[in-house]
Chain A
Amino acid sequence: MGEVVMLEVNDLNAWYGKSHVLQGVTFQVAEGEIVSLLGRNGVGRSTTVKTIMGEVEPQGSILFKGEQIAGRKSYEIARRGLGYVPENREVFPTLTVRQNLLLGMKSTTPSGRWSIEEVFAMFPLLAERADVPGGALSGGEQQLLSMCRTLMGDPDMVMIDEPTEGLAPKIVEQVGNLLTEIAGRGVSILLVEQKLNIAMRISKRLYIMGHGQVVWEGTPESLNEAGDVRAEWLEV
């Protein structure tokens, strides 16, 4: 890679009860880089990001900006600059769009790369619905809100789990544009995806997971040429 490493995961293991879900996951994300974690359902992609975020107890090494964060609490990890947008969006349903965004900020004083005004300028759809409860938004609007809420905390890296799942093509395009905008501001992205199209379009590097491990690593170009890899680990 050559650049400064933002996130370095080494031999990460995790269990759900007696089930050994992550079996030595190893990968890296550099500063300002978009990296995708691909794989079929149930291979441990979401568990990987949840474990990095402290939601699942880890065994192994997770270095973020050179500091060991394995075993730290979620809020401590978030405060160190690692953002997370979960698969099910987790928009606060009773709070308005504006209040959802306000809670993304780690302090009352606005600072950093993103502001509410900017978010509203980028997504007039959210501006129009600023005072509408988050639970009343469509799936696509909730996805955009969830991503923007995390950005309000000014993270140096964001992990985004299946952002295009179940969305209309028009919203998928907006999500793609937002991801490019995030990376353009120097924020690293770890994108967890099942679908290839968006990952292939915006990622610099790709990791494929299978059976709780990283089974392939390469660029979008090399994956294009590796039909056998796609057939074995990605195609349904």
Chain B
Amino acid sequence: MPEVLVFATLNGLVTGLLLFMLASGLTVIFSMMGVLNFAHASFYMLGAYFAYSISLYFGYWIGLIVAPLIVGVLGALVERYGLRRVHQHGHVAELVFTFGLAFLIEETVQFFWGADTKNYQTPELLNFPLFTLFGQEFSAYRGFMLAISIGIFIGLYQVLTRSRVGLIIQAAITHPHMVANLGHNVPLIFTAVFGVGTALAGLAGVIAGPVLTTFPGMALVLGSIVFVIVVIGGLGSLPGALIASLLIGLLQSYAIAANVGMPELLELLGLEFPPSHPLDDLWTLDLAQIAPTLPFLLLVLVLIFRPAGLMGKREQ
């Protein structure tokens, strides 16, 4: 039992922090620009694909550095020449634009890389167990993912709270006009934030690609969960996004590790269905099978009991 708990916690942290890498960019972009970027997870996918192609010629490590930079530049160009022009037509136009962009990126990926799963591998250097506990191995690559995610979180936190640029971003989130009136180039800050946000999504794709598989549907798989995180955490709240990411990462990980069937769970609630009951299929499920639905269940609960999200503030 302790080994299940330890490994489920470690895997939950890896997933949670990876989700935060995506959700942080999405929530900061939303805070500053009021845009819920539907294409955000597509940049995550682009990161994985660019890194895969680069790794074929120059190895994994060059891809790790170059792919997020390419994705960041692409993101900045999308903001500067796409979103900024659409912005004058309102938020609905922006939503439609990012929605269309997500489709465009998915089709482009399929056009250039094909519809099959890519053989994007973890680097040789990290192909060993980091440690063995209770006879179970924890791979060095997962440790690397954890380290990168924690490093990004600390770096992001330091930049946002300690640097002048971070202060300008914090101020521009609530008072963009006033920040501009003090002589700061707010449109440039928006472009930079969008670029960094998409670069972080790209980085998440680079490090997740070899583990979660690199295929054209990867944006769709993670994209919906990232939106759930941003809503659960509270739209625009970075601490909320962190809490929600870890919550969902751990919840899914524990659910998979628990190895508990629905009969046991329902028994706890005093419910029992006969085999011929219409809900018989539900009866035979185990917790690991319903783990992917847990974020959405959590979303429903949060929307019912705390519609503004865990750390969000309801607009007056």
Chain A interface (Cβ within 8 Å of chain B)?
Answer: 53, 55, 73-75, 78-79, 84, 86, 90, 92-95, 99, 102-104, 106, 108, 149-150, 153
Contacts and interface: CB of A to CB of B under 8 A. Distances in A.
Given A73-B180, A74-B177, A86-B178, 12 more contacts: A55-B181, A84-B181, A86-B181, A92-B170, A92-B171, A92-B175, A92-B178, A94-B170, A95-B167, A103-B182, A106-B182, A153-B182
A103 B181 contact: no
B170 A153 contact: no
B274 interface: no
A67 B177 CA distance: 22
B182 A104 contact: yes
18 contacts: A55-B181, A75-B181, A75-B182, A78-B180, A78-B181, A78-B183, A86-B178, A90-B177, A92-B175, A92-B178, A103-B164, A103-B167, A103-B168, A103-B171, A103-B184, A106-B183, A106-B184, A108-B164
B164 to A, nearest CB: 6
Given A86-B178, A90-B175, A102-B164, A75 B183 contact: yes
Q: 3 closest A-B pairs (Cβ-Cβ)?
A: A78-B183, A74-B180, A90-B178
Interface in B29-46: none
Contacts of B170: 92, 94-95
Contacts of A79: 183
Interface in B127-181: 164, 167-168, 170-171, 174-175, 177-181
Nearest to B187: A73
A127 B205 CA distance: 47
B167 A99 contact: yes
A55 B177 contact: yes
Given A103-B167, A103-B168, A108-B164, A92 B174 contact: yes
Contact of A153 (B177, B178, B183, B187): B183
Contacts of A153: 182-183
Contacts of A90: 175, 177-178
B167 A74 contact: no
A95 B171 contact: yes
Q: Which has the most chain A C-beta neighbours within 10 Å: B164, B171, B179?
A: B171
Interface in B181-199: 181-187
From B174, B177, B178, B186, residue with most partner A Cβ within 10 Å: B178
A92 B178 CA distance: 9
A92 B179 CA distance: 9
Contact of B182 (A94, A95, A99, A150): A150
A106 B5 CA distance: 52
A120 B11 CA distance: 50
B174 A93 contact: yes
Contacts of B168: 103
B108 to A, nearest CB: 34
A73 B184 CA distance: 10
Given A75-B186, A108-B164, A103 B179 contact: yes
Given A86-B178, A90-B175, A93-B174, A102 B185 contact: no
Contacts of B185: 75
A68 to B, nearest CB: 19
A15 B181 CA distance: 20
Nearest to B168: A103
Contacts of B187: 73
Contacts of B175: 90, 92
Given A90-B175, A93-B174, A103-B179, A75 B184 contact: yes
A94 B160 CA distance: 12
Contacts of A95: 167, 170-171
Contacts of B186: 75
Contacts of B180: 73-75, 78
Contacts of A78: 180-183
Nearest to B171: A92
A203 B164 CA distance: 36
A49 B185 CA distance: 20
A11 to B, nearest CB: 24
Nearest to A152: B182
Nearest to B180: A74
A102 B184 CA distance: 12
B129 to A, nearest CB: 44
A98 to B, nearest CB: 10
B182 A149 contact: yes
